[in-house]
Amino acid sequence: MAAHSAVLSVSKIINPFWGGRLGNTVKVFGTTLTSHRNKTQRAPPPAKYGGRHTVTLIPGDGIGPELLNHVREVFRFSCVPVDFEVVHVNSALETEEDINNAITAIRRNGVALKGNIETKHTMPPSVKSRNNLLRTSLDLYANVMHCQSLPGVQTRHQNIDIMIIRENTEGEYSSLEHENVPGVVESLKIITRNNSLRIAEYAFRLAREKGRRRVTAVHKANIMKLGDGLFLQCCREVASGYPDITFDSMIVDNTTMQLVSKPQQFDVMVMPNLYGNVVSNVCAGLVGGPGLVPGANYGRDYAVFETATRNTGKSIADKNIANPTAMLLAGCMMLDHLKLHDHASSIRNAIFTTMNENRLHTADIGGQGTTSEVVQSVMRIIQSKGQLTAEF
Amino acid sequence: MGSMQTVTLIPGDGIGPEISTAVMKIFEAAKAPIRWEERNVTAIKGPGGRWMIPPDAKESMDRSKIGLKGPLKTPIAAGHPSMNLLLRKTFDLYANVRPCVSIEGYKTPYTDVNLVTIRENTEGEYSGIEHVIVDGVVQSIKLITENASRRIAEYAFEYARNNQRSSVTAVHKANIMRMSDGLFLRKCREVAENYKDVKFTEMYLDTVCLNMVQDPTQFDVLVMPNLYGDILSDLCAGLIGGLGVTPSGNIGANGVAIFESVHGTAPDIAGLDLANPTALLLSAVMMLRHMGLHDYGNKIQTACFDTIRDKKVLTKDLGGNSKCSEFTADICRRVQDLD
C-alpha cells in the first residue's frame, strides 16, 4: 500500500517582485521563487492546555454532521489530543453572521474540519456560497486532493495515482456578476499573475517533496487566450525553476477525455478553479466515488480539511449508509498537519485494513455495511494494535 | 421514397477528402436520396477586409440548409479566424448536439452509454471578451443572455420529444455563479413547463462529472452553457471511444444544420487510405435522421456497427489492420445486403 503521508502544510508567502505594485506590502522571506530547496512546514498552531490542540469543527448540512460525529468518536476512542470547537452555520439564513463566526473561530484556532454547507441557489445573488466565502476570506488558495486506486474497491480503471492542485480563490469563482440590461448577465472570471504563480509554486514544491516526476497544467488557453494564457505562462515560469520535474500542459476537454480512457498517464495536475472542480470530480469518480477521497484547503496561515468533492449528500443523510472514509481520512490529514503523525497513521491504517482486507464496504462502493459498522471496525482495529484507547 | 435532397458537402483538410469519399460511397450503396454539392470553406478576405467564407459556399448552404463537414485546419496566420468559429457565426449555429452511444464491438471501460449532450454554442465563456485590467490581472467575461438560454432550452426539449428521449437535465453551477447560471436555469425551467411529457431535472456540473464516470447510464439528454458543454461533450466522447467514433451536429437559426466529425485533420495519415470514416459517417447518419430519412439512417448505422462488431476489417485506430477503402467496402456490402 503506497504511503499515505499527508499533503504538506501551508506554504510560504509568494510575493514576486514583479507583482509588487498591487499593493501587497508583505516581505519576501529571503528566498526567490526559483531557489526553493527547503521543505517549508509552518509550525502548527500552538497547542493550548497540556499539549491538546483545539480545532474548529463546522458540521454543515446533509451527511456532514453525522460523519463528523463519527470522526469525533474515533478520535476520542484513540485518545487523540484534539478538542473540537463546534461552530454551526445555518444555510437558511441570509445574513453572514454565522459564517463570519466560523471564520473568526478558524482564525483563532488555525485549523478546521468541515462538512459542506448547502447553498440554496434560489436565494438572491447577494447571498453567496458560504463555503466559497470561507475559502476566500481565509485565503485558502490551494485545494489539494490525492486520488489513488484502492485495492479493495472495484473500479473500471486501476493504478490511478493523481495529485490535483486547484487554485481555490479566484477564477470563475470570483462571484462577480451583474445584469447589464434585463436578460443579459455578465460573470467575470479573474486570473491574476500573483495567484497563478502562487498556485504553480505550490504545485511544483509539493511535487518535489513527494518525489513526483511530472506536473501537467490544465487550461483552455486556445479560447481564453488572455486569462488561461496568463495562468499557463505563470506555470511555465515556475517550471523553469524546477528542472528535475517535467512540465506539460493539456487542454481541459482533452484532459477529461484522457482521464476516462487512460488516467494512469497523469501524475500531478495544476489548474484554475473551475477546471479543478471538473477534474477533481472526475478523478474522485474514477477511484470509487465521493465517499473515499479527502481534500484539504491550504492557505498561508490556515488549513481547512473536508471531503474532496464537497457533497452535501442530502438524500442519504441520517440513514447510516454514508461512507465515512473520506471524512475520516480528512481527519487524518488534519492530524498530520498538526504533526500528530502516529495517530494519523494508526487511524488511516485501520481504515484501509477495513476497506482492503476486511472488505467492509458501504453501499456507495458496492457493499452492504452501514456507516457505524465501518466506524466500529476501524476502532476495533485501532484497539487491536495495542495503543491506548478509551472505552468503546 | 422521396425526391433527391441536396446536401452541401465540405470535405475539409487532411483526411477530410478521403473520409468524405467513403461516406459518399456508402450513401450510394444505400441508395440514399442525397445529392452532394461539394464546397470549400477556406476563409477569404471580403470587401472591407473582414474574413468570410466564400460566397458560393454560403449560397449553397443557405439553399440546401443541410451540411456535412469534415475536419478543418485553422491556418496559423496571424489574424486568421478559426474556421469553425467563422462557420458558427455565419450561420448562427447555436446548438451543438452530440449523441454518445456505446459502440458494440469497440470496447471501452464503459458499456451501455446512451446520452446526448446539447451545448449552447454562441455565448457563455467563449464570448471572447477578455481584457487586462492592470498588469497581472486579467478578466474574462462569461456572457449569459435570456434569449440564447431560452433558445437552447427549447431546442433541447424539442430534440427530446422528437427523438423519444425521456428526460432533459440542465447542467449548471448556480451555487457559485448565481446570476448567470441562475438565468440559464430559470429559462430551462420555464421552457420545461411547456414540455410536461419530458422529465426535467437539474444537476450541478461537478455532480454530473462525478456520476458520469461511475454510471453514465443514468443520463439521457443534457443541456448546458458553452464551457460545460465543451468539457462534458468531450468527456462523453471519451466514454464511448474518442473523437474518432463520435458524431456531432450543429443546429443554426433559419433551419440550417451542419453535421461534422470533430476529430482533427490527422495530417500524418492523410492520403494514405488509413483513416477511419466512422465519425463522419455517424454524423451523416445523424443528418439523415434530422432530415426525416430514418430508414436510411438506421440501415447505414447498422451496417457500420456490424462491421465494427465483426472485427474483420477494422482501421488501425479501431485496433485492426485494414485500409479505409476496405472498411468502407465492407460497410457498403452490408448495406446492400440489408436491402
pLDDT in tens, A186-217: 999 999 999 999 999 999 999 999 999 999 99
CB atoms within 10 A of CB B333: 14
List CB contacts (< 8 A) between A187 and chain B.
141-144, 177, 179-181
Cross-chain residue pair B213–A282, CB shorter than 8 Å: yes
What is the structure's pLDDT at A50? 77
Q: Which chain A residue's Cα is nearest to B213?
A: A285
First to last CA, chain B: 14
Task: Give percent helix, percent strand, percent coil of chain A, each to the nearest 5.
Answer: 40, 20, 40
Q: Is A144 helix (H, G, I), strand (E, B) or coil?
A: strand
Question: Averaged over A231-239, what is the pLDDT?
Answer: 97
Average pLDDT of every residue of chain B: 93
Res A37 pLDDT > 50: no
Closest CA of chain A from B141, distance in Å: 5
What gap in Å lies between CA A109 and CA B67, rounded to an integer?
63
Res B180 pLDDT > 90: yes
For A105-141, how does the pLDDT look when each residue is reduced to its tens digit (9 = 90+)? Answer: 999 999 999 999 999 878 888 888 999 999 999 999 9
In contact, A52 and A230? CB cutoff 8 Å: no
Q: Which residue has the cell 498556485?
A: A199
A22 pLDDT tier (thresholds 50, 70, 90): very low
What is the structure's pLDDT at B103? 93
Proportion of chain B above pLDDT 90, given as a percent: 85
Res A17 pLDDT > 60: no
Res B293 pLDDT > 60: yes
A8 pLDDT tier (thresholds 50, 70, 90): very low
- ipTM for the complex? 0.92
Question: Averaged over A12-32, what is the pLDDT?
Answer: 39
Closest CA of chain B from A219, distance in Å: 11
What is the structure's pLDDT at B12? 93
Q: Which of B76, B111, B209 to mutate against chain A (most A CBs within 10 Å)?
A: B209
Question: Averaged over B300-305, what is the pLDDT?
Answer: 95
Q: Which chain B residue's Cα is nearest to A279?
A: B209
Angstrom distances, CA of residue B13 to CA of A177, B17, B26, B75, B263: 41, 7, 20, 11, 11
Closest by CA to B139, choosing from A386, A92, A192, is A192
Res A36 pLDDT > 80: no
Which of A22, A191, A286 faces B213 most closely, judged by CB atoms? A286
Cross-chain residue pair B177–A177, CB shorter than 8 Å: yes
Res A48 pLDDT > 70: no
Res A12 pLDDT > 80: no
| DSSP strands (E only) in chain B | 5-10, 34-38, 44-45, 51-52, 66-69, 93-101, 114-120, 124-134, 137-145, 167-172, 199-204, 221-224, 247-252, 257-261
What is the structure's pLDDT at B86? 86
Cross-chain residue pair A227–B139, CB shorter than 8 Å: yes
What gap in Å lies between CA A146 and CA A80, rounded to an integer?
24
Res A29 pLDDT > 60: no
Q: Nearest 5°: phi and psi at A359?
A: 55, 35
Closest CA of chain B from A255, distance in Å: 8
| B19 Cα distance to chain centroid | 16
More reliable by pLDDT, A34 or A208: A208
Res A28 pLDDT > 70: no
Average pLDDT of every residue of chain A: 88
Proportion of chain A above pLDDT 90, given as a percent: 80
Cross-chain residue pair A119–B175, CB shorter than 8 Å: yes
Cross-chain residue pair B136–A19, CB shorter than 8 Å: yes
Cross-chain residue pair B137–A192, CB shorter than 8 Å: yes
Proportion of chain A above pLDDT 70, given as a percent: 88
Question: Averaged over B202-210, what is the pLDDT?
Answer: 96
A16 pLDDT tier (thresholds 50, 70, 90): very low
What gap in Å lies between CA A237 and CA A201, rounded to an integer?
9
Window from A279-293, B68-82, B140-154, B276-290 with minimum mean pLDDT = B68-82
What is the structure's pLDDT at B48? 85
List CB contacts (< 8 A) between A156 and chain B.
109-110
Cell of residue B136, nine digits: 497581472
Cross-chain residue pair B238–A193, CB shorter than 8 Å: no
For A139-181, how does the pLDDT look when each residue is reduced to its tens digit (9 = 90+)? Answer: 999 999 999 999 999 999 999 999 999 999 999 898 899 999 9
Q: Which chain B residue's Cα is nearest to A133?
A: B176
The number of CA neighbours under 13 Å toward the Cβ of B54 is: 9
Q: Which residue has the cell 476570506?
A: A137
Closest by CA to A218, choosing from A140, A300, A284, A274, is A274
Cell of residue B305, nine digits: 456497427
Closest by CA to B63, choosing from B255, B248, B297, B253, is B255
What gap in Å lies between CA B227 and CA B143, rounded to an integer?
11
List CB contacts (< 8 A) between B206 and chain A.
277-278, 280-281, 309-310
B51 pLDDT tier (thresholds 50, 70, 90): confident
Q: Give the pairing type, strands B137-145 and B167-172.
A: unpaired
Residues 103-142 of A with CB under 8 A from B: 119, 121, 123-125, 128-129, 132
What is the structure's pLDDT at B76? 66
> What pTM was estimated for this model as a whole?
0.90
List CB contacts (< 8 A) between A285 and chain B.
209-214
In contact, A381 and A350? CB cutoff 8 Å: yes
What is the structure's pLDDT at B44? 85
> What residues contact residue A37 under an 8 Å CB cut-off, 6+ apart?
none
In contact, B173 and A310? CB cutoff 8 Å: no
Question: Averaged over A82-86, what is the pLDDT?
Answer: 96
User: Does A17 lie at the interface with B, CB-CB under 8 angstroms?
Assistant: no
What is the structure's pLDDT at B78? 58
Res A83 pLDDT > 80: yes
Q: Give the pairing type, strands A111-114 and A53-58.
A: parallel
Phi-psi region of B134 (alpha: psi -120 to 50; beta: other; left: phi over 0): beta
A30 pLDDT tier (thresholds 50, 70, 90): very low
**CB pairs < 8 Å spanning A and B:** 179
What gap in Å lies between CA A223 and CA A238, rounded to an integer?
23
DSSP per-residue letters across A46-112? PP-GGG-EEEEEE--STTHHHHHHHHHHHHHHTT-SEEEEE----TT-SSSHHHHHHHHHHHHHSEE
Sheet holding A184-192: strands in order across?
A171-181, A184-192, B137-145, B124-134
Dmax (CA) for chain A in angstroms is 68
Q: Which of A257, A306, A316, A364 to mutate against chain B (most B CBs within 10 Å)?
A: A257
Res B74 pLDDT > 80: no
What is the structure's pLDDT at B39? 95
What gap in Å lies between CA A362 and CA A328, rounded to an integer?
14
List CB contacts (< 8 A) between B232 and chain A.
256
List CB contacts (< 8 A) between B205 and chain A.
277-278
> What residues contact residue A51 under an 8 Å CB cut-off, 6+ apart?
A81
What gap in Å lies between CA B193 and CA B184, rounded to an integer?
15
Cross-chain residue pair B243–A257, CB shorter than 8 Å: yes
For A331-373, how does the pLDDT look when each residue is reduced to its tens digit (9 = 90+)? Answer: 999 999 999 999 999 999 999 999 999 999 999 999 999 999 9
List CB contacts (< 8 A) between B147 and chain A.
183
More reliable by pLDDT, A160 or B49: A160
Q: Give kind and range of the element (H or E) at residue A315.
A: none
Res A39 pLDDT > 60: no
Q: How many helices (H) and strands (E) does chain B have?
A: 10, 14
What gap in Å lies between CA A119 and CA A370, rounded to an integer?
27
What gap in Å lies between CA B100 and CA A145, rounded to an integer?
30
Cross-chain residue pair A184–B179, CB shorter than 8 Å: no
